[in-house]
A and B are shown apart, each in its own frame.
Chain A
């Protein structure tokens, strides 16, 4: 099949998946819902059993990465239009994008560098509460507060991390768990953070006078105001994912992976392990804090239960489901784990059970995730042999 044919095939696959996802989200009547679920299940079975088809599809996607990304971008931009009848689903889609942003940061820490952070929600909370405190208590403009939130997460993270830099992995995890609870207790009990009520009436973002709480009208269609946040979150998640990809496919990514895989080999290759762990922790906390800050502006209030340990668990389960150290895996993981319990309301009560089960099952059966990290190619298309010198032994 020629190039145009396989590009069209890539777009067709993306379109079919998109249609199925939208239908699954919006179908109300049992027949429609049943048919959609059935179609998805049939596709999954087909993908697993027919390896020729699977290989062909993945090869086509790999060969036309730019076209695939462009197609996905168009569909992502189109999603709110299909969801415009439901502010609720627009909100859920936006939340998934927030988790993508947070997930890339947390993955940089846990998956790429092996720095186990089980207080993701607390660092998101640092971002969110900073926004709340700066805007409501101090009258700072929302954009400035929004950009300061992640910085606070980074600074507090560094203060927490520096004393324990020499500590081994398991102890670090325990320290982060403790920090998560400390954060929760502090937010609950300090007066200036609003106690159990939290901080409400956080002002929304404005872009050149246009308030994000205004319902937009685009291409003749009226969208719920949540769509504003969706597009903003899409830009944020895309930017963070793109930058994380660049970081991973560079010398820094290589160094972080080596710190994770073998500290002693890293040290003897000239790597300052402590410095790089702190670097990964800080950059990761920036993304996590950014997600938390966005959540604060999107929802308009922050309170302690919004950032408790259960949400740290959600973040970790996204990473494990999608794939440790896998940038596309994070996108997949968030896209699956955030809407699913909302769709199947009967699961909602057992949400934490679902996330815990996802972690355990994945670690047993597919520890590398649904979209495992591939070998680093630095984004280069050249085959390995093209780097060979002329001649050479044997």
Chain B
């Protein structure tokens, strides 16, 4: 049985069908690339899976249904995500932005905060060490700036902090929404290496990554799924999907020239 499956997942906003009868599966340890032109429903798909928008159809994760559950419950089941426009708390410290990811794993509560401070501090120190470890996978400097507001960091470091926040939840499934958006080629290359490090650190982790940058998709995905107008139009390895006529038409607007040399280059950008 797959780790994660959707069956006929559909999201409608009034008359607009943003996600249309999508069947999708992700296996354990697999990285699935999710591509498609803007507005094809990829982020809405993430929002439906994480319970942020109401959806029809079925979502199965680790053998249990997810449809109808609240977002915080879905997170507890083991799904973590990043957001297209980073949702970090810019005034809070780098460490704090990662630590909130551990919310579902924290044992001490209000009572402990008031009367059992030693227990809270022990847990906090442990968590800070773990956060530092996650951050250092990407950039050791992030640890040194751990108590600085995250708003002071450059874009790529903020993305890394957001990914660390998601990883801090010890998820089984990680949803990455356009992590390379707004990055130049050097930063994109670094990001891809970051993702490969994550894969090395957590081999059992499954990932769905939405990306427009085909270089990244090709570099990290085991399989690729393509969306258009909310429907899944192709599924397979990267080269299979890249050569798919409907996919090319979705991106380029008309049937691509048969003489195109590198599918990655033609779909890139």
Q: Which residues of A contact B (CB under 8 A)?
A: 243, 246-247, 250-255, 257-258, 261-262, 264-273, 279, 283, 375-380, 383-385, 387-389, 392-394
Q: Select B136's contact among A251, A279, A392, beta carbons within 8 Å.
A: A392
Interface presence of B17 (CB below 8 A): no
- The 8 A CB mask of B108-146 against A (1 = contact, 0 = none) is 111011100100110111001101110011111101111
Interface presence of B12 (CB below 8 A): no
Further pairs besides A250-B120, A252-B113, A266-B100: 12, Cβ < 8 Å: A247-B110, A247-B114, A251-B124, A257-B96, A264-B71, A265-B87, A270-B103, A385-B146, A388-B136, A393-B138, A393-B140, A394-B140
Q: Chain B residue with minimal CB distance to A247? A: B113
Chain B contacts for A262, CB-based, 8 A = 87-89
Chain B contacts for A250, CB-based, 8 A = 108, 112-113, 117, 120, 124
| Interface majority SS (helix, strand, loop, mixed), chain A | helix
Q: Size of chain B's interface in residues, with CB distance under 8 A?
A: 59
Q: Kindly state the separation between the CA atoms of A394 and B137 in the bound complex, as whole angstroms.
A: 9
By the criterion CB–CB under 8 Å, are B113 and A270 in contact?
no
By the criterion CB–CB under 8 Å, are A388 and B52 in contact?
no
Q: How far is the CB of A266 from chain B (nearest CB, A)?
A: 7
Q: Chain A residue with minimal CB distance to B168? A: A269
Q: Kindly state the separation between the CA atoms of A253 and B109 in the bound complex, as whole angstroms.
A: 10
Chain B contacts for A394, CB-based, 8 A = 139-141
Q: Select B95's contact among A267, A268, A283, A384, beta carbons within 8 Å.
A: A384
Q: Kindly state the separation between the CA atoms of A328 and B108 in the bound complex, as whole angstroms.
A: 25
Q: Select A271's contact among B72, B91, B144, beta carbons within 8 Å.
A: B72
Q: Kindly state the separation between the CA atoms of A375 and B106 in the bound complex, as whole angstroms.
A: 21
- Known interface pairs A251-B120, A392-B140; A257-B92 also in contact (CB < 8 Å): yes
Query: 10 A-B residue contacts at CB 8 Å?
Result: A250-B120, A251-B106, A261-B92, A375-B96, A377-B93, A378-B120, A384-B146, A388-B136, A392-B143, A394-B139
Chain B contacts for A272, CB-based, 8 A = 70, 72
Stretch at the interface among B59-67, B75-83, B178-186, B213-221: B75-83
By the criterion CB–CB under 8 Å, are A380 and B121 in contact?
yes
By the criterion CB–CB under 8 Å, are A384 and B145 in contact?
yes
By the criterion CB–CB under 8 Å, are A377 and B147 in contact?
yes
By the criterion CB–CB under 8 Å, are B132 and A388 in contact?
yes
- Known interface pairs A261-B92, A388-B132, A393-B197; A268-B121 also in contact (CB < 8 Å): no
Q: Kindly state the separation between the CA atoms of A377 and B95 in the bound complex, as whole angstroms.
A: 9
Interface presence of B246 (CB below 8 A): no
Q: Chain A residue with minimal CB distance to B113? A: A250
Chain A contacts for B31, CB-based, 8 A = none
Q: How far is the CB of B166 from chain A (nearest CB, A)?
A: 8
Interface presence of B26 (CB below 8 A): no
Question: In the complex, which of the residues A253, A262, A264, A279 has the most CB atoms of chain B within 10 Å of its own CB atom?
Answer: A262
Q: Select B109's contact among A246, A252, A261, beta carbons within 8 Å.
A: A252
Q: Kindly state the separation between the CA atoms of A255 and B108 in the bound complex, as whole angstroms.
A: 12
By the criterion CB–CB under 8 Å, are A265 and B103 in contact?
no
Chain B contacts for A380, CB-based, 8 A = 121, 124-125
Question: In the complex, which of the residues A247, A253, A267 has the most CB atoms of chain B within 10 Å of its own CB atom?
Answer: A267
Chain A contacts for B136, CB-based, 8 A = 388-389, 392-393
By the criterion CB–CB under 8 Å, are B93 and A264 in contact?
no
Interface presence of B101 (CB below 8 A): yes
Q: Select A246's contact among B117, B138, B144, beta carbons within 8 Å.
A: B117
Q: How far is the CB of B201 from chain A (nearest CB, A)?
A: 11
Q: How far is the CB of A378 from chain B (nearest CB, A)?
A: 5
Chain A contacts for B144, CB-based, 8 A = 384-385, 388
By the criterion CB–CB under 8 Å, are A387 and B143 in contact?
yes
By the criterion CB–CB under 8 Å, are B132 and A389 in contact?
yes
Q: Select B114's contact among A243, A265, A279, A378, beta carbons within 8 Å.
A: A243
- Known interface pairs A258-B100, A389-B129, A393-B139; A269-B165 also in contact (CB < 8 Å): yes
Q: Kindly state the separation between the CA atoms of A384 and B95 in the bound complex, as whole angstroms.
A: 9
Chain B contacts for A377, CB-based, 8 A = 93, 147
Q: Chain A residue with minimal CB distance to B194? A: A393
Q: Chain B residue with minimal CB distance to A255? A: B103
By the criterion CB–CB under 8 Å, are A268 and B131 in contact?
no
Q: Kindly state the separation between the CA atoms of A257 and B95 in the bound complex, as whole angstroms.
A: 13
Q: How far is the CB of B239 from chain A (nearest CB, A)?
A: 31
Chain B contacts for A388, CB-based, 8 A = 132, 136, 140, 143-144
Q: Kindly state the separation between the CA atoms of A250 and B123 in the bound complex, as whole angstroms.
A: 10
- Known interface pairs A257-B96, A267-B52, A389-B133; A384-B117 also in contact (CB < 8 Å): no
Chain A contacts for B87, CB-based, 8 A = 262, 264-265
Interface presence of B148 (CB below 8 A): yes
By the criterion CB–CB under 8 Å, are B110 and A267 in contact?
no
By the criterion CB–CB under 8 Å, are B128 and A261 in contact?
no
By the criterion CB–CB under 8 Å, are A375 and B117 in contact?
no
- Known interface pairs A246-B114, A393-B139; A378-B89 also in contact (CB < 8 Å): no
By the criterion CB–CB under 8 Å, are A387 and B140 in contact?
no
By the criterion CB–CB under 8 Å, are B143 and A376 in contact?
no
Q: Chain A residue with minimal CB distance to B110? A: A252
Chain B contacts for A243, CB-based, 8 A = 114
Q: How far is the CB of A80 from chain B (nearest CB, A)?
A: 29
Q: Select A251's contact among B71, B113, B132, beta carbons within 8 Å.
A: B113
Chain A contacts for B120, CB-based, 8 A = 250-251, 378
Interface presence of B149 (CB below 8 A): yes
By the criterion CB–CB under 8 Å, are A375 and B93 in contact?
yes
Q: How far is the CB of B2 from chain A (nearest CB, A)?
A: 22
Q: How far is the CB of B118 from chain A (nearest CB, A)?
A: 11
Q: Kindly state the separation between the CA atoms of A275 and B89 in the bound complex, as whole angstroms.
A: 20
- Known interface pairs A257-B89, A262-B87; A268-B50 also in contact (CB < 8 Å): yes
- Known interface pairs A247-B110, A388-B136; A273-B72 also in contact (CB < 8 Å): yes
Q: How far is the CB of B50 from chain A (nearest CB, A)?
A: 6
Q: Kindly state the separation between the CA atoms of A170 and B192 in the bound complex, as whole angstroms.
A: 42
Chain A contacts for B155, CB-based, 8 A = none
